[in-house]
Amino acid sequence: MDGIYLDNNATTRVDDSVVAEMLPYFTEQFGNPSSMHSFGNKVGLAIKKARLQVQELLGAAHESEVIFTSCGTESDSTAIWSALRANPERKEIITTTIEHPAVLALCSHLEKEGYKTHFLKVDDKGRLDLDEYARLLTDKVAVVSVMWANNETGTLFPVEQMAEMAHAAGVMFHTDAVQAVGKIPMDLQNTKIDMLSISGHKLHAPKGIGVLYLKRGVRFRPLLRGGHQERGRRAGTENTASIVALGKACELAQQHMHHENTEVKRLRDKLEAGILAKVPRAFATGDVSNRLPNTSNIAFEFIEGEAILLLLNKFGIAASSGSACTSGSLEPSHVMRAMGIPYTAAHGTIRFSLSRYSTEAEVDRVIQVVPEIVAQLRKLSPYWGENGPAEEPEKAFAPVYA
Amino acid sequence: MWDYSDKVKEHFFSPRNSGAMDEANAVGDVGSINCGDALRLMLKVDPDTETIQDARFQTFGCGSAIASSSALTEIIKGMTLDDALKVSNQDIADYLDGLPPEKMHCSVMGREALQAAIANYRGEVWSDDHEEGALICKCFAIDAVLIEETVRANKLSSVEDVINYTKAGGGCSSCHEGIEEILTKVMAERGETFSPHAVVLKEENKPSKLTNLQRIKRIETILDAIRPQLQRDHGDIELVDVDGKTIYVNMIGACAGCQMEAQTLQGIQTRLMEDLGEFVKVVPSRAGSYVRAASHV
């Protein structure tokens, strides 16, 4: 499909060489890796290779620390439930207000089951207060779960430091790293991170495959019990083709790590600067000096995100928005709200997320199109006057009910 | 991506009558910034004939909010104010060949802006107690606020009650966990505990002393008493059948497909129960707008 795809934090194109690598595992190599015969044996070896490839990208000490799961959400749920079951006397969880729903909704649910969840707040740049965190780290806490990079803004969190602090306090530490793995280098063997979640489709592997990294020696209770797969830590017949694919995708991500942090970053910076230079009343959200190399989240004031996306789509440009309307909920993105972005801007946030497939020509085209779209929608907005926002926009337009 | 009709897309990409109108003599501002949509409707009304000569809008909102605003201005141009007041949100949605259930509130916003603008022209104060909550039942587009208020007002205690009173949860049933959460919360307010296993002891129906014919006539009389209220809102109700405890009715005119239909029916049901002294269930015999909404799911 033609078009300009700048929504790589949502999902990515499966790399052609990844597809080529996985295809034989549907037909010629269809065996069950648990079987004793030669149909299964080769598949078992392929999974072993994939595990090594994942280990390499993560900088993990042992291949057995890699547990294949079905997705990032399963990895998150497994990690948090495991910590709670392994520490039944501890009834508190620490997480953040800006987590992905995979963690946030689970923690909110656990509150109903009698657990106390501390949601760490962020400042206007999306940064955490580590003093607040330190105060909460007590022996009542079963697990800390903090994302490595935020999916909407790309803001990076000091998870290595936070893991050290948790470790010193005797608390387990999990990080949802689905946005970070493959985009920034990692060396887990030299960290105190106990558990880490990966999602295959965020790094050019297929959907439906994930990994839970589990540091050797960390107490663990499986979510799915049954067969002996994954050393009994995740029962269920292996998704062999996708495991092979994820292995290959990790190898490729490792090869492109330098490119991601130089060329992709350069294109992202060019895109952001180009748009902000041409569009008044727009600003980048999050901690722009400390974020993923591929992500730019821009708030366009006084217009609504879904409308922007529909017009971008007309030009063949794919991005995503933190607006309420794109999700069907009434509230705009919880990440924007947590950072205190006002409603008139939070509804107009657009996330551009690049990949190694993004090109200079695509970025140039988006820089050209976005200002026209924003101007077109602002012309419709009751908050916008002739050449700028209506004077005192909140007063100029005050609807009857709110 | 939403499954917008071609008509919605067309009105979004090429909105009619957008922009400010300096000579407007009727202006209605409605919306909810938190929900991300707000609409200013501007009308030029001929004082002699009370005819809408021109209509324009400015909208901060999503694709369907802009399309609904555009559709509204097209519908009402040339109408008298009295005729314009008969335009329902469903008319706006129909004009656009339907809206996804999550987006029906965009058409409601259009209708409210129209009411607000006409009130503004007539020097009246328009106020709305309209409050929206998170969408719970996607099949029938029913939100948490409506369910909560209904549970509170009628002291409901089971998911089945909620289905009977609001229709919420009566479709695919995926939202039953959400409904149970509302029940748990509201029942706690009145000092009760929600139990999914509780045997619902409906007030045992007293044997009706009326004959079938007398009972139906009585129902007719009660409906006749309610009718003027409905007609004032340009709607009506018609008795279709009575089958034991279930009373089938037709909602007509503006009542048909009105967002408040569930609440209206529930009010009628309460009235019937009071007057008949027995438990009855009022059910719309024609599924109406909700079926349309459900077909988009």
A41 has a pLDDT exceeding 90: no
- Among the partner-chain residues A314, A343, A381, the one whose CB lies closest to the CB of B34 is A343
State the pLDDT at residue B202. 47
Active site residues of A: 325
Strand-pair category, A116-120 with A92-96: parallel
Same domain (yes/no): A225, A304: no
Q: Give the residue from B126, B131, B124, B125 showing the smallest Cα distance to B108.
A: B131
Same domain (yes/no): A167, A194: yes
Task: Tell whether A20 is covered by a domain.
Answer: yes
Residues of the domain holding A376: 257-396
Q: Give the residue from B96, B142, B88 showing the smallest Cα distance to B114.
A: B88
- Among the partner-chain residues A311, A326, A382, the one whose CB lies closest to the CB of B38 is A382
- Provide the CA A86 distance to its chain's centre, in angstroms: 26
- Among the partner-chain residues B30, B66, B112, the one whose CB lies closest to the CB of A307 is B66
A361 has a pLDDT exceeding 90: yes
Same domain (yes/no): B67, B165: no
Of A214, A230, A255, the residue that ends a domain is A255
Those residues of chain B that have pLDDT short of 50 are 200-206, 287-297
Helices (H), chain B: 6-13, 63-76, 81-85, 89-95, 104-121, 144-154, 159-166, 176-189, 212-232, 261-276, 289-295
Flag if A399 and B102 touch (Cβ within 8 Å): no
Strand-pair category, A66-69 with A210-214: antiparallel
Strand-pair partners of A352: A296
State the pLDDT at residue B141. 79
Q: ipTM of this predicted complex?
A: 0.82
State the pLDDT at residue B267. 84
Q: What is the CATH number of the domain that holds B217?
A: 3.30.300.130
State the pLDDT at residue A243. 98
Of A255, A281, A299, the residue that ends a domain is A255
Amino acid at position A49, single letter: K
Task: Tell whether A6 is covered by a domain.
Answer: no
Same domain (yes/no): B181, B279: no
Q: Which of residues 106-135 of B touch A (CB under 8 A)?
A: 112, 116, 126-128, 130-135
Q: What is the CATH number of the domain that holds A266?
A: 3.90.1150.10
d(CA A118, CA B239): 55
A350 has a pLDDT exceeding 80: yes
- Is the model more confident about A41 or about A56? A56
State the pLDDT at residue B204. 47
State residue A131 phi and psi, 5-degree precision: -70, -45
State the pLDDT at residue B279. 82
State the pLDDT at residue B292. 37
Q: What percent of chain A has pLDDT over 90?
A: 88
A402 has a pLDDT exceeding 50: no
Provide the shortest C-alpha distance from residue B32 to chain A (in Å). Answer: 4
pLDDT tens sequence across A153-167 = 999 999 999 999 999
Same domain (yes/no): B184, B240: no
Specify the residue for token string 């101007």. Answer: A375
Same domain (yes/no): A149, A174: yes
What DSSP assignment string belongs to B243-260? Answer: ETTEEEEEEEETTTT-TT
Same domain (yes/no): B38, B68: yes
Number of structural domains chain A divides into: 2
d(CA B257, CA B89): 9
Task: Tell whether A179 is covered by a domain.
Answer: yes
Spot the catalytic one: B106, B137, B139, B175.
B106
Residues of the domain holding B158: 133-201
Task: Tell whether B59 is covered by a domain.
Answer: yes
Of A255, A289, A313, the residue that ends a domain is A255
Collapsing DSSP to helix, strand or coil, B197 comes out as coil
Task: Tell whether A3 is covered by a domain.
Answer: no
Q: Hey, what are A19's tokens?
A: 């597809």
Task: Tell whether B61 is covered by a domain.
Answer: yes
- Provide the CA B64 distance to its chain's centre, in angstroms: 18
Task: Tell whether B194 is covered by a domain.
Answer: yes
- Please give the span between the terminal C-alpha atoms of chain A, in angstroms, as a whole number: 42
Chain B within 8 Å of A314 (Cβ-Cβ)? yes
Q: Is there a contact between B147 and B166 (Cβ–Cβ < 8 Å)?
A: yes
Task: Tell whether A2 is covered by a domain.
Answer: no
- Mean per-residue pLDDT for A35-47? 89
Number of structural domains chain B divides into: 3
Same domain (yes/no): A104, A131: yes
Same domain (yes/no): A242, A362: no
Same domain (yes/no): A229, A263: no
Amino acid at position B60, single letter: F
Q: What is the CATH number of the domain that holds B16?
A: 3.90.1010.10
Same domain (yes/no): B183, B237: no
Task: Tell whether B128 is covered by a domain.
Answer: no
Same domain (yes/no): A342, A387: yes
Same domain (yes/no): B90, B166: no
Task: Tell whether B297 is covered by a domain.
Answer: no
Of B201, B226, B248, the residue that ends a domain is B201
pLDDT classification of A355: cutoffs 50, 70, 90:
very high
State the pLDDT at residue A398. 67
- Ordered strands of the A282-284 beta sheet: A282-284, A295-300, A349-353, A320-321
Provide the shortest C-alpha distance from residue A240 to chain B (in Å). Answer: 31
Flag if A398 and B61 touch (Cβ within 8 Å): no
- The number of CA neighbours under 13 Å toward the Cβ of A339 is 25
pLDDT tens sequence across A290-345 = 999 999 999 999 999 999 999 999 999 999 998 766 655 557 889 999 999 988 89
Q: Is there a contact between A195 and A212 (Cβ–Cβ < 8 Å)?
A: yes
Collapsing DSSP to helix, strand or coil, B80 comes out as strand
Angle at B91 between CA B100 and CA B49, to 5 degrees: 150
**Residues of A in Cβ contact (< 8 Å) with B126:** 400
Same domain (yes/no): A369, A307: yes
Q: Give the residue from A143, A131, A152 showing the smallest Cα distance to A173.
A: A143
State the pLDDT at residue A50. 98
Flag if A314 and B32 touch (Cβ within 8 Å): no
pLDDT tens sequence across A172-195 = 999 999 999 999 999 999 999 999
Collapsing DSSP to helix, strand or coil, B37 comes out as strand
Q: What is the CATH number of the domain that holds A120?
A: 3.40.640.10
Of B121, B147, B175, the residue that ends a domain is B121
